[in-house]
Structure 1
Amino acid sequence: MATNNLINDMIITKRALPLFRDTNGFIKNIDRSYDSYFGKSGAKIGASVNVRLPNDPVVGDGPVVSPQSIAERSVPLTVAYRKHVSLGFDTQERTLNVDDFSGRYIEPSVNNLTGSVADIAMTLALGAANMVRNVDGNGNTIAPTSETWLQAKAKLTKQHAPTADRFAVLDPDTDASTVSGLMGLFNPSAQIGQQTKTGAMEAPLLGVREWINDQTCLVTTTGSYDSAATATGSVTTLSNAGNAIPGQISSTAYPQNSVIATSALNGGINAGDVITIAGVNQVNRVTKRSYGTPMQFVVTQAVASGATSIVVSPALVGPAADGSQNQYQTVDALPVADAKITLVGKQGETIRRNLLFNKKAMTLVTVDLMEVNKGVVDCGMANLDGISMRTLTYYNGTDDTLGTRLDVLFGIGVLRPEWLCIVPDIVDAG
């Protein structure tokens, strides 16, 4: 194969982009439809737009119309993150053929760069508002089965998440146990045969478009809260204020939150833990009729033992004062005084946070960085399927070397936390 006289930055960028797009299945399958909102070149960290969420008009009866005021909802989508990898090599190494250069330098660099982006996305997915556990006779979390995944699918369906474009992200250990558990449940087929050959989940299966084996699935420990505290009957609403602090979960990253006043808690609750409240049930988002099952809420701010309030998502929106339907209604009733608040899961359990989600639950935007000419040796910027990346090579006169960096400027937003469901698996301490 002929070699290049010089592999320039545009070649590096165009080789890196498809790798970035395809290396991590979670990142690949997050919605990217809002990139055009950030279409200007040279955008900076902090650039933000408000992404409007679907309206929820109340249906009226009879021929008389009573005009209603629609309360618009939006989520601030902020370019909050910038990640880069830096490379060092001499001009001789840049004369390698493209495939050799890609294998030695570009592929491992992009793999690590994509992993860092996926880690942020996984951290924001701590805001998943649903959890389905498989438990043993003592209530301990155990590996999910096909029934567990089907129950998770039902959770999304009851939240009106579209049935198309559903993806599962599994920790490698959970993927192994899931494949093993499903092998005996189906008659022989080409698909199950392929699972046996590859040792990985094959899609589509159980209503999931793609099963993604991902090492960036988070491992977390449930708080020490003893599920004995009760609500006081007071609930207030927090409007969203922006994206989370980089690398951290924050209530400001989600569309809307509620603050539930409580009696003093015995034991702490961690961000990402899920709770239920006695007498507060989930409703059909269209008809507003109660499903009769406890609504789950994710805790979006860590709560210390002794605290007397909990911040949760989604927001608690009950019926109107006269008992009629309410816009964006999420529950059939607000908590009354002395309603017990229960932790979903066991205290102190360490779990793998496998994830079932609809593509539109989260969104990723990448922004064109400014092309730099002055003071650099080379610069290349390109866009592929809504993903922007820049490669820049600069000269360091102090030691007479060249340095090359790959940069991605991006934002990640959680638009519909109710379209994310955690399917935990226990981490065996042994």
Structure 2
Amino acid sequence: MSTNTLLTSSVITNELLRRFKNNLGFSGAVAHTWDDKFAVEGAKIGDTLRLRDPVLFTAQAGPVLTPQNVVENQKTLQLNNQQVVGFSFSSKDLTLSIDNFAARYLDGAAVALANAVDIAGLTVADQTVGNLVGTPGTPPANMGPFWSAGETLDTGSAPMDGTRSMVIPPKIQTSVLTAASGLFQSSAQIKQQYERGRMGIMGGFEWVMDQNCRTHTVGPLGGAPVVAGAGQTGSTLATSGWTAAAAVRLNAGDIFTLPGVFKVNRITGDIKTDLQQFVVTAQASSDATGAATLSIYPPIITTMPGQTVSASPAASAALTIVGTANTGFITGIGFHRDAFALGMAPLEVPKNIQFGANQQDPDTGCAIRMVSMYDIINDLFVTRCDVLFGWVCQRPEWCVKIAS
């Protein structure tokens, strides 16, 4: 005599987690190092974790030691984003196979939640990464911008350990597949490109297409902005020369350069030939006189250890802003895995819930919760699927945006 096999909450949640993980684009290529620090049974630390950057030192010549100041920079990883998808299913649906149930309900939920996590991470990247190659509004016509992206990561001392990724939107993917078709590659890789549109590993990057890559819109701008005063250092920059009216001028994620302010190797202090690109980390407005104070990254530091630029900008140095006022351009992003940190934790299952479970993948740290309440009138399980997560760009110098 045969018996019916009913789907359990654990089986369904495990399958939901698997499909969620498989739908991650950008989020699947970043570090999940810190997931095990959150929601540890008996030792919960709350929703915030402070991550220390490695301390940078400078080698000294000769036998005499001059102790160096220890400068510890830290970033905050906070689980401050909860996303939920809701649906209902009948008790009859619990008699379906897990594949049939997943096709009807879980695929859509997994895609929606994975997209939400990717979008949040790519928005953080847009607003915190200042390195940019390519021309806004013009898709790459060849592989040149991507080779430049690798060079930018090398200059930023990003490790070459096989964990660099290049996440690109469909618009850039079309250009890349065309440009890469004439390059020397293995026959297996060429087959993947032509049959499935997959690029695999190329130029030191693992390539991923993500339709959630962000379109950055340049601020309204206005006037002829310049540096207001010489010798400025730190994470803010006083400027003047904007249109003399109280109004928004720059959006978070806008990028600019300053004459005479060059990149440096942060380990050796060697001055490079490229101007340092600064990103505006918060929306900036001018006052009635045309003055505005910008929040920027990297901070202007002119001495080792931790030097970021060759010199502070001169008074009245003109800002050269990337892009056109009020105009958007889509970007891909190349990065080392440890440039970003994604933290996730499984939300608690309420004690009075009979049908519910949470699961966390031990390899990636991805976590998800599913809980259902039974509607006895309509014989339905009203269900919610949640993810709790947070993002931080821990090493912006290990990232570069590709304009198109």
SS across alignment from 1:263 = strand
Partner deviation per Cα, 1:349-382 (whole Å, 9 max, x = no partner): 32111111111111111113223232x2212122
Aligned to 1:218: 214
Q: In 1, distance between residues paired with 2:340 and 2:106?
A: 28
SS across alignment from 2:307 = coil
CA drift of 1:174 comes to 1.4
Task: Say if 1:3 and 1:340 are closer, same or farther in 2 by CA, change over 3 A.
Answer: farther
Q: In 1, distance between residues paired with 2:172 and 2:279?
A: 22
SS across alignment from 1:314 = strand
* Aligned 1:2-401 pairs, distance under 5 A: 5-41=5-41, 47-126=47-126, 127-134=128-135, 141-143=138-140, 145-163=142-160, 164-186=162-184, 189-200=187-198, 202-208=199-205, 210-225=206-221, 228-232=224-228, 233=230, 235-237=232-234, 258-266=235-243, 268-305=249-286, 306-319=290-303, 326-374=304-352, 376-384=353-361, 385=363, 386-396=365-375, 401=380
Task: Say if 1:46 and 1:312 are closer, same or farther in 2 by CA, change over 3 A.
Answer: farther
CA drift of 1:215 comes to 1.0
- Verify the 8 A CA contact 2:260 2:311 in the aligned structure 1: yes
1:418 aligns with 2:397: yes
Q: In 2, distance between residues paired with 1:187 and 1:162?
A: 24
- Verify the 8 A CA contact 1:134 1:145 in the aligned structure 2: no
- Verify the 8 A CA contact 1:4 1:97 in the aligned structure 2: no
CA drift of 1:94 comes to 1.4
SS across alignment from 2:108 = helix
- Verify the 8 A CA contact 1:271 1:300 in the aligned structure 2: yes
Task: Say if 1:58 and 1:188 are closer, same or farther in 2 by CA, change over 3 A.
Answer: closer
CA drift of 1:236 comes to 5.0
- Verify the 8 A CA contact 1:46 1:78 in the aligned structure 2: no
Residue type of the partner of 1:124?
A: V
- Verify the 8 A CA contact 1:234 1:260 in the aligned structure 2: no
CA drift of 1:26 comes to 1.0
Q: In 1, distance between residues paired with 2:301 and 2:18?
A: 43
SS across alignment from 1:421 = strand
- Verify the 8 A CA contact 2:84 2:387 in the aligned structure 1: yes
Q: How much is the aligned-residue C-alpha RMSD, in angstroms? A: 2.4
CA drift of 1:187 comes to 7.1
CA drift of 1:179 comes to 0.8
- Verify the 8 A CA contact 1:134 1:144 in the aligned structure 2: no
Residue type of the partner of 2:157?
A: H
SS across alignment from 1:332 = coil
- Percentage of identical aligned residues: 31
SS across alignment from 1:268 = strand
Residue type of the partner of 1:211?
A: W
CA drift of 1:42 comes to 9.4
CA drift of 1:295 comes to 0.4
- Verify the 8 A CA contact 2:233 2:312 in the aligned structure 1: no
CA drift of 1:218 comes to 0.9
CA drift of 1:19 comes to 1.4
Residue type of the partner of 2:13?
A: T
The TM-score with structure 1 as length reference comes to: 0.85
- Verify the 8 A CA contact 1:46 1:80 in the aligned structure 2: no
Partner deviation per Cα, 1:70-95 (whole Å, 9 max, x = no partner): 02111111111111211201100111
CA drift of 1:185 comes to 4.1
Partner deviation per Cα, 1:171-206 (whole Å, 9 max, x = no partner): 112111221222234478432243122234x12111
Q: Which runs of 5+ in 1 are unaligned?
A: 238-257, 320-325, 426-430
- Verify the 8 A CA contact 2:237 2:294 in the aligned structure 1: yes
Task: Say if 1:172 and 1:42 are closer, same or farther in 2 by CA, change over 3 A.
Answer: farther
- Verify the 8 A CA contact 1:227 1:343 in the aligned structure 2: no
Residue type of the partner of 1:158?
A: T
Moved more, 382-391 or 105-114: 382-391
Q: In 2, distance between residues paired with 1:403 and 1:90?
A: 9
Give the paired residue count: 391
Moved more, 5-14 or 36-45: 36-45
Residue type of the partner of 1:207?
A: G
Partner deviation per Cα, 1:15-47 (whole Å, 9 max, x = no partner): 011212121221111100111221424999962
